Amino acid sequence: MKHLSGVDATFLHFETTEMPMHVGSLNVLDLPEGYQGDFYEDAKACLAARLHLANVFTRKLALMPFDMSNPVWVEDEDIDIDYHVRHITLPQPGTNRQLQQYVARLHSTLLDRSRPLWEFFIIDGLKSGQVALYTKMHHAGIDGQAGIEVGKAIFDMAPTGRVVKPPRPRARRSSYQLGVAELAGAALRNTAAQYIKVVKLMPALGRAARGLAQRSDATAAKDPRSLSRRFNLLAPRTPFNVSITNQRSFAGRTISLAETKQLARHFGVSLNDVVMGTISGALRRYLADSNELPAKSLVAGVPVSLREAGDSTANNQVTGMTVSLASDVADPVERLKQIALSSNASKSVVNRFKPLILDDFPTFAAPWFMSGMASLIGRSGLVNVLPPMINVAISNVQGAPFPMYFAGALVTCNYPVSIAAHGTALNVTVQSYNGRMDYGLIACRRAVPDVIEIGDYMLVEHKLLMARMQETPAANDEMTVPAKKPAAKAPAKSVRARATA
C-alpha cells in the first residue's frame, strides 16, 4: 500500500457533488478504412490487455479509521472492465456540438470511490462516421504529466498496435480490505515522517522568504507600478468568481501549433505566453459583450510542474503561480508583452522556492476537516463575496508530436477536460498533439452557459495576432525575453507551466 501525498489527497478531500475532482480528455477517432467490427468490444479488449501498464487502472482507495489521515492506494484484484469501459450512442443527427454537450454531462458525475478511479466511454452515432473516446480519471492519482504516461499505455504509434506482455500472476490477498490495525499503524508512521520533513525545511524557508522580500523592495523602489502588475495579490470580481453547481458546459477548439510557435518567436515571448494572450483577448471580448469587463486586469492561476525529467510516477507534483492577463490593455501585442513580464516574474519566485515546495505535508485529521471546509465554502456563498485570488485557471500540457492510434483507430484530436471549481467557474486547458493546439474549455453551466463563445473568440484573437505579426517587426535583442542561464549539472527540479488539471 502507498499513502496519498498531501497534494494528491487535497484533490480528494476538496471534492464535493458540485465540484468533482477528475480530469479527462475527448478524442475523436477515425476508424480503419473498411472497418466492419464492433469498436466498443475491440476497445474494451485492448484496454483489458493493458491495465497493468499504468497503476492508475488497477489501484483503489482504502480509507483510514476515523479519517485520521490520508487514504492509501491498494491493488484491486477484481476489476470489472464492463463497468469501467462503457458504450454510448448519440441521438441523431450526431453533431459535434451534441458530442461536447454529452461530454459535459458525463464530466459532472462523481467517480465511484469503491473502485479504481477511472472511466472510459466509447461514443458512436456521430454523423461523420467517426467514434469518440472520452476518458476521466481522478486528479488525486494523476497530474498532466503523469497523464502523458497513461497515454503511452493505451495509445499506439501505428494502427497495427503492439504486442503487450501480460502481467505476471501474483498471489491474491485473502481479505477484501486491509485491517484496521494495519491502516492505523501506517497512518501514524506517515504523519510522523511528514512532520519531520516540515521541521527540516523551516530554516531554508525563512532564508528564501527574506531574499524574496529584499528583491521585491528593490523592484518597488525602481518601478512601483511594475511590481503591482507582476504580483497580483487579489483579482477583480467577474462572473466566473462564484459558487458553482455540478452542471457543466464544454467546448473544444483547435489552433495551429506551428503558428503559435511562430507568434512566440516573432514577439520574443514563450509559447505559454501566447496561449495566455489568446485566452486573455477572448475573455476581454466575452466580458465586454455584457459590460462586465473590469477596469483592473484579470488574473490567471497557472499550475507549474515540479516533476523531474524522466519521472513518470502517477501522482501530483505541482504547485501554482498567478499571472496577470493584462486584460486592461487594449492592444493585443502590448498585452502579450505585459503577460510575458508577469509570467517571468512569477516563475522567478517559484524558482527561488522550488527546493522548498512540499508535495507531501502533515495531514492528521485532514480528511474530515478539509471536506467540511469544502462544503462550507461552496454552499455558504462565501466565494460570492470574498475578493477572488484568480479569475480563471489556465493550463498547458505538452503532448505527443506524432499521430497516435487507439485500438487501431487514428486519434484526430485530444481535447483536455479539466476542473471547474468554486470561485473559478472557468478552466481552459490546452494540450499539443501532432501539430495542433487542442483547447478544452470546461465551465459551470450556470455561471458560463455560453462557453462556446469564448472558444470562438479565441480563434478570432489568434487570427488578430497573426495579422499583427505581419505588420510588426520581429522582436530585437532588447525586446526579447532574456535567455535562460545554462542549467546546473544537478538541478533540483524543473519548472514549467502545465496542466491540472
Count how many domains the chain has. Answer: 2
Higher-confidence residue of 204 and 77: namely 77
Is 373 within a domain? yes
Distance CA(77)–CA(70), nearest Å, equals 22
Is 369 within a domain? yes
Q: Looking up cell 511590481, which residue turns up?
A: 227
Q: Is residue 436 domain-shared with residue 316, that is, in the same domain?
A: yes
- Say whether pLDDT at 80 is over 80: yes
Chain center to CA of 339: 20
- Say whether pLDDT at 265 is over 60: yes
Would you call 139 a catalytic residue per the annotation?
A: yes
Question: CB of 393 within 8 A of CB of 421?
Answer: yes
What pLDDT, on the 0 to 100 scale, is given for residue 451? 97
Q: Is residue 44 domain-shared with residue 101, that is, in the same domain?
A: yes
Q: What is the average pLDDT value for the chain, to the nearest integer? A: 83
Q: Is residue 287 domain-shared with residue 152, that is, in the same domain?
A: no
Higher-confidence residue of 359 and 254: namely 254
Task: Show the 3-state SS of 264-325.
Answer: HHHHCCCHHHHHHHHHHHHHHHHHHHCCCCCCCCCEEEEEEECCCCCCCCCCCCEEEEEEEC
Show the cell assigned to 466: 497573426
What pLDDT, on the 0 to 100 scale, is given for residue 6? 75
Centre a 10 Å sphere on the Cβ of residue 310 and count the other Cβ atoms it contains.
Answer: 5
What pLDDT, on the 0 to 100 scale, is given for residue 295? 96
Question: CB of 431 within 8 A of CB of 397?
Answer: yes
What range defines the domain where residue 87 resides?
2-162+175-187
What pLDDT, on the 0 to 100 scale, is given for residue 500? 37
Each residue of 180-238: pLDDT tens digit?
A: 555 555 555 555 565 555 555 456 555 555 555 555 454 444 544 444 445 556 899 99
Is 196 within a domain? no
What pLDDT, on the 0 to 100 scale, is given for residue 385? 86
Three-state DSSP class for residue 50: coil
Q: Please give the share of the chain, as a percent, with pLDDT higher than 90.
A: 58
Q: Is residue 146 domain-shared with residue 288, that is, in the same domain?
A: no
Cα angle: 365, vertex 371, 376; to 5 degrees = 125
Q: Is residue 181 domain-shared with residue 234, that is, in the same domain?
A: no
Is 192 within a domain? no
Instruction: Say if residue 344 is exposed, middle or buried (CB neighbours under 10 Å; 0-12, 13-18, 19+).
Output: middle
Q: Is residue 263 domain-shared with residue 352, that is, in the same domain?
A: yes
Is 308 within a domain? yes
Q: Is residue 248 domain-shared with residue 101, that is, in the same domain?
A: no
Each residue of 408-450: pLDDT tens digit?
A: 999 999 999 999 999 999 999 999 999 999 999 999 999 999 9
Q: Looking up cell 455540478, which residue turns up?
A: 246
Distance CA(463)–CA(281), nearest Å, equals 11
Give residue 496's pLDDT band: very low, low, confident or very high (50, 70, 90). very low
Kindly report the length of the chain: 501
CATH number at residue 100: 3.30.559.10
Centre a 10 Å sphere on the Cβ of residue 485 and count the other Cβ atoms it contains.
Answer: 6
pTM, full prediction: 0.83
Is 326 within a domain? yes
Q: Is residue 154 domain-shared with residue 259, that is, in the same domain?
A: no
Q: Is residue 346 domain-shared with residue 463, that is, in the same domain?
A: yes
Q: Is residue 275 domain-shared with residue 335, that is, in the same domain?
A: yes
Show the cell assigned to 266: 516573432
Q: Looking up cell 510575458, which residue turns up?
A: 340
Q: Looking up cell 513580464, which residue turns up?
A: 341
Is 219 within a domain? no
What are residue 83's phi and psi, to 5 degrees?
Answer: -75, -45
Q: Is residue 182 domain-shared with residue 267, that is, in the same domain?
A: no
Show the cell assigned to 68: 485520521
Show the cell assigned to 241: 468568481
- Position 439, amino acid: Y
What pLDDT, on the 0 to 100 scale, is given for residue 125? 97
Is 197 within a domain? no
Q: Is residue 183 domain-shared with residue 231, that is, in the same domain?
A: no
Chain center to CA of 366: 23
Q: Lowest-confidence range among 80-94, 117-131, 354-368? A: 354-368
Distance CA(267)–CA(479), nearest Å, equals 8
Which position among 13, 139, 266, 422 bears the catalytic label?
Answer: 139
- Say whether pLDDT at 250 is over 60: yes
